[in-house]
Structure 1
Amino acid sequence: MMLACTEAGEGPALVLLHGLFGAGQNWGGIRRALAPRYRVLTPDLRNHGASPRAAAMDYAAMAADIAETMDAAGVARAAVLGHSMGGKVAMALALAHPDRVERLVVADIAPVRYRPALRGYMDAMQALPLHPGLTRRDADAHLAATIPEPGIRAFLLQSLRFEAEPPAWRLGLAELAAAMPVIEDFVPPPGATYGGQVLVMAGERSGYVRPEHHAAFQALFPAVTFATIPKAGHWLHSENPPGFLAALEPFLAA
């Protein structure tokens, strides 16, 4: 699948992959910081943003999307960074197409199955009544009944087009809801490993990457190293951009 993709800058190619319910625009600040030295591509993953909708959400299919989108951009090989679900897509790409990945960065996700903790967000978004005249304030108040964290509500509402009449999600919610068991899991290609350099970044206040996950990384990525981003939770690149870049840029430049 050809993905909607924006890019900025010139230099070695760097692909940034967003997480569930996000879009390429989530990387705006990081993209601006890196564009002076890299050609930064920020695609919308399938069922997100302006990219097409599809029932399949397995990581092999999403990795193939990235390879096809790189082909369309004339990029044979790139450093690839993925956050959360995008980190699983990045890992799947490196394992299935190691020749396409110069080096790999995985931000706050592990190659394991996670519990269904995000399905409540899905239910809340699907239950939001999208009527003409709906305001951001009204939508936020409706979501607050089940999502108490203001930051998470603000993140989710970035994908609601209030300029449409009535407002509409920039997400394939039906497709994503049906695929949640697949999204929560991670099944690598049998016997596959990626021998390139890998950096795994975890937020200091996040529980997504735990010490017990390190063995799963090492089995698939023998050259993996780990870093902790201080003063950050799961959205480490937006919660502490300077700390995120301080760990990322030396790895990319090495």
Structure 2
Amino acid sequence: MQLNYQLHGEGEPLIILHGLFGTLENWGSQIKSLAERFQVIAVDLRNHGRSPHSDEMSYPLMAADILALMEQLNVSKAHILGHSMGGKAAMQLALNHPDRIDKLIVVDIAPVVYPRHHDDVFEGLFSIDLTSLKSRSQADSQLQALIKEPSVRAFLLKNLYRNEAGQFDWRMNLQALHDDYAQISAAPQGSSPYPKPVLFIKGANSNYLIPEYRDDLLGLFPKASYKVIQNAGHWPHAEQADSFSRMVLDYLG
């Protein structure tokens, strides 16, 4: 699959991968900061943003997509920065092709199977009647019954756009994400541990990286280190942008 991407800056390549329901546009402030030192390759993963839709969704497929993009851009080795679902895709790529990774940063996700926890999101998004929708504010009102946090609703509704017929539609492949949710919840798999260092970044208020996942994490990434960003939840790159970019730049050197 040929992914949609944007190039920013010059220098060593740094590939940035978003999370579930996200797009490369979620990394706006980080792209600007990191592009001062690196050639940032911001990517829309399959079934997200402006990348192609597919009925299939899995971490081996996402890793293969990223590898194909690297081949397309003649990138033999790159730093990889992935958040949440994008972090799992980054881990899968590292386990499959460690020689193609320079430095790896995984944001607020562990290599484990997570229980279902997006049912309210799917229910809310499917409840929006796109054929009669007149505005984003109307969609926001419809989501309020199931999704209380305004910031989460705003994040989800960035996926709305007007198609060529002038009707609202989703850029993401909502049906495929719902149908293959078990694959998104799954853990990356590797026949052997990743032999290089990895930085895991945790939002202090998030429960995605918890002590119970330590053995699974170290089993696949024995040279892992981690840092915590205070006053941040699952989106530390957005919630504490300055602290996050400093942490990333320090690690990448």
In structure 2, the residue matched to 1:186 is 187
Once the two structures are superposed, residues 146-172 of structure 1 have per-residue CA deviations (whole angstroms, 9 ceiling, x without a partner) of 111101000000010047621010110
Given the superposition, is the C-alpha separation of residues 103 and 13 from structure 1 closer, same or farther in structure 2, using an over 3 Å criterion? same
In structure 2, the residue matched to 1:82 is 82
Q: Which AA in structure 1 matches 2:17? A: L
Q: CA deviation at 1:112?
A: 0.6
In structure 2, the residue matched to 1:110 is 110
Q: CA deviation at 1:182?
A: 1.0
**SS at the partner of 1:156?**
helix
CA RMSD of aligned residues (A): 1.2
**SS at the partner of 1:124?**
helix
**Is the 2:159–2:171 contact (alpha carbons within 8 Å) kept by the matching residues of 1?**
yes
Distance of 1:10 and 1:43 partners within structure 2: 16
In structure 2, the residue matched to 1:168 is 169
**SS at the partner of 1:113?**
coil
Structure 2 counterparts to residues 130-141 of structure 1, below 5 A: 130-132=130-132, 134-141=134-141
In structure 2, the residue matched to 1:54 is 54
Unaligned segments of structure 1, at least 5 residues? none
In structure 1, the residue matched to 2:65 is 65
Distance of 1:187 and 1:13 partners within structure 2: 23
Q: CA deviation at 1:41?
A: 0.4
Unaligned segments of structure 2, at least 5 residues? none
Distance of 1:235 and 1:44 partners within structure 2: 17
Q: Which AA in structure 2 matches 1:130? A: L
Given the superposition, is the C-alpha separation of residues 39 and 187 from structure 1 closer, same or farther in structure 2, using an over 3 Å criterion? closer
**SS at the partner of 1:19?**
coil
Once the two structures are superposed, residues 95-136 of structure 1 have per-residue CA deviations (whole angstroms, 9 ceiling, x without a partner) of 001111111100000011111111221121122111355211
Distance of 2:243 and 2:230 partners within structure 1: 7
**SS at the partner of 1:222?**
coil
Distance of 2:51 and 2:61 partners within structure 1: 14
Q: Which AA in structure 1 matches 2:95? A: L
Q: Which AA in structure 2 matches 1:186? A: A
Distance of 2:38 and 2:8 partners within structure 1: 8
Percent sequence identity over aligned pairs: 40
Distance of 2:102 and 2:140 partners within structure 1: 41
Distance of 2:245 and 2:133 partners within structure 1: 40
Given the superposition, is the C-alpha separation of residues 104 and 54 from structure 1 closer, same or farther in structure 2, using an over 3 Å criterion? same
**Is the 2:21–2:156 contact (alpha carbons within 8 Å) kept by the matching residues of 1?**
yes
Q: CA deviation at 1:246?
A: 2.3
**Is the 1:112–1:186 contact (alpha carbons within 8 Å) kept by the matching residues of 2?**
yes
**SS at the partner of 1:22?**
coil
Q: Which AA in structure 1 matches 2:150? A: P
TM-score normalised over the length of structure 2: 0.97
In structure 1, the residue matched to 2:210 is 210
**Is the 1:30–1:241 contact (alpha carbons within 8 Å) kept by the matching residues of 2?**
yes
**Is the 2:88–2:188 contact (alpha carbons within 8 Å) kept by the matching residues of 1?**
no
Matched residue count: 252
Q: Which AA in structure 2 matches 1:182? A: Q
Q: Which AA in structure 1 matches 2:47? A: N
Runs of 4+ with deviation above 3 angstroms = none
**SS at the partner of 2:156?**
helix
In structure 1, the residue matched to 2:198 is 198
**SS at the partner of 1:10?**
coil
TM-score normalised over the length of structure 1: 0.96
Q: Which moved more, 1:87-96 or 1:221-230?
A: 221-230
Distance of 2:99 and 2:150 partners within structure 1: 41
Distance of 2:236 and 2:213 partners within structure 1: 18
